[in-house]
Amino acid sequence: MNKYMLLLKTAAGKGGEFWDGFSKMPDEPMDGVMIQESYSLFGYWDFAIIFTANSNDNALHFVGEKLRALNGIAETSTSPMTVLKKHKMR
């Protein structure tokens, strides 16, 4: 499974609409994709979503067909993540 980070910007005043739809999405929104974590951000991007996918095609389908179908999204940026070093968790 490949890990991806998705950064998401909502249209002005539409963060609640996006979150309402996203919070109802199952952790496994489609075969081969699993949402692991989601964060609220400050700055240019409003949300970050960490997910795994069994292929780049499934990652693209998830973002383009499932996530972008939710209300309030203005922009997304998705990037595969590569582990550089595993750090100790305390």
Whether residue 61 is contained in a domain is answered as yes
Whether residue 86 is contained in a domain is answered as no
pLDDT in tens, the chain (90 residues): 999 999 999 999 999 999 999 999 999 999 999 999 999 999 999 999 999 999 999 999 999 999 999 999 999 999 999 889 989 988
Concatenated DSSP letters of 35-85: EEEEEE--SS--EEEEEEESSHHHHHHIIIIIITTSTTEEEEEEEEE--S-
Check if the beta carbon of residue 57 is closer than 8 Å to that of residue 63: no
Question: What percent of the chain is helix, strand and coil (3-state, nearest 5)?
Answer: 20, 40, 40
Q: Which residues contact 13 (CB under 8 A, 6 or more apart)?
A: none
Count how many domains the chain has: 1
Whether residue 89 is contained in a domain is answered as no
- Token pair 């179908």 is found at 69
Partners of 6 in beta bridges: 49, 78
Whether residue 87 is contained in a domain is answered as no
Whether residue 37 is contained in a domain is answered as yes
CATH number where 18 lies = 3.30.70.920
Which structural domain range is residue 12 located in? 2-81
Whether residue 88 is contained in a domain is answered as no
Whether residue 77 is contained in a domain is answered as yes
Whether residue 21 is contained in a domain is answered as yes
